[in-house]
Chains A and B, each alone.
Chain A
């Protein structure tokens, strides 16, 4: 199978990830629940994973790296920590349902910073207009999960800092490939999955917290600390981590993070962008195919959407699947992004690459697609 659905989850992982998970299952119990070797080994592994994530994302205190189930869980924590029921939020036009559904549940007033695809300056200008006093939070994804659009989070962060409004960054598609300096940018929360660009296993996610106090738990329960107290601890990460940790997942995530740090995000991003550019150029040569990309893949990561004229995106996705090519078609859980790009009626077919894809796979995909569209 050719796997081009890494924006959903990376399927191919570094071999060290599965090995670390197996080792954790064989040797680790629960961190913070005992002083015996299996518990302390788990605690050491969890701490090491927090520490390496903290170094990667500019967090000075590893305790402000909280483990979650996935990015959606992390985004829910961030949103529900900052946005009161009925509160006002400014968000980009390329957000995922992991952002908009919790905000809808909160009855939040959502002001969308609308801007055309791949127009960074327009995004920043839209935020500049909308971020006003009384805004409870600003939310911006770093890279669109549908179009790979790299949004100007640095500029948005500067606007938020200047006006004292907390910023939540959804780093679901950028973690592991683009730099993000949480404290340097003054970001309140950054949410990310462990199982995409960080190459950890599914069931892992991370919430980076810019400060100690703002985070509010979604779950209450045992933390291995202050057990006689019936309220959650007021310190991180315990405040956000009730219940038993996913130690095989955390051990696997640590192995994935080490792979990314050793390879470098820049190298991985460069590889993925080269593949996306190759695919974009090949797609443009096929009559009737609309490609969502600027020349040279400007302002775009290794995620590429296209739409064949007069063809149903889902049907084409299925046809590619039958030929052994895994892509994601439809709306990608991001109707807001499709509305912003003008594809809400059709959806798109999305290719998303990882460090384990090759040029040969892209050539094979183009050959199969040409045949299917004849």
Chain B
């Protein structure tokens, strides 16, 4: 199923992002980033429904919590996309 992963700097930032999104009515799930998505290793990502990305990015930007990277999962693979 199509969805987005947004990468956080650390688990603490992922948790901050999740709290902020929760308050904005956007659900997310935190998990470890797949290896292929992290060039520096060990990171956490939030999974978002595809329709939530733009609003999520607005909310996160307002809180100075912009993600490090954004990936779209489509047709069985991840691809980095621009914010």
Give chain A's interface residues, CB within 8 Å of chain B: 31-32, 34-35, 40, 43-44, 46-47, 50-51, 61-63, 223-229, 233, 235, 237-238
Give the residue of B11, B31, B41 whose beta carbon is less than 8 angstroms from that of A227. B41
Interface class of chain B by DSSP:
mixed
The answer to whether A227 and B12 touch (CB under 8 A), given A35-B31, A40-B30, is no
Give chain B's interface residues, CB within 8 Å of chain A: 9-13, 15-16, 19, 30-32, 39-44
The answer to whether A227 and B10 touch (CB under 8 A), given A43-B15, A61-B16, is no
Expressed in whole angstroms, the Cα–Cα distance for A235 and B11 within the complex equals 12
The answer to whether A235 and B9 touch (CB under 8 A), given A47-B15, A62-B16, A63-B16, is yes
The answer to whether A228 and B10 touch (CB under 8 A), given A35-B32, A63-B16, is no
Nearest-neighbor residue (CB-CB) of B8 within chain A: A225
Nearest-neighbor residue (CB-CB) of A226 within chain B: B40
Q: Which residues of A contact B32 (CB under 8 A)?
A: 34-35
B30–A227 touching, CB < 8 Å: no
A358 CB to nearest B CB, Å: 40
The answer to whether A224 and B11 touch (CB under 8 A), given A35-B31, A40-B30, A62-B16, is yes
Nearest-neighbor residue (CB-CB) of A47 within chain B: B15
B41–A238 touching, CB < 8 Å: no
Give the residue of A34, A35, A223 whose beta carbon is less than 8 angstroms from that of B10. A223
Q: Which residues of A contact B9 (CB under 8 A)?
A: 225, 233, 235, 238
B41–A226 touching, CB < 8 Å: yes
Chain A CB within 10 Å, residue with most, of B19, B31, B42? B42
Expressed in whole angstroms, the Cα–Cα distance for A41 and B18 within the complex equals 15
Enumerate 17 A-B pairs (CB-CB under 8 Å) in ascending A order: A34-B32, A35-B31, A35-B44, A40-B30, A47-B11, A47-B12, A63-B10, A63-B16, A223-B10, A225-B11, A225-B43, A226-B43, A228-B41, A229-B41, A233-B9, A233-B10, A235-B10
- Contacts A46-B12, A63-B10, A228-B41 known; list 16 others, CB within 8 Å: A31-B11, A32-B11, A35-B32, A40-B30, A50-B12, A51-B19, A62-B16, A63-B12, A63-B13, A224-B42, A225-B42, A227-B41, A228-B39, A235-B9, A235-B10, A237-B12
B20 CB to nearest A CB, Å: 11
Expressed in whole angstroms, the Cα–Cα distance for A304 and B13 within the complex equals 43
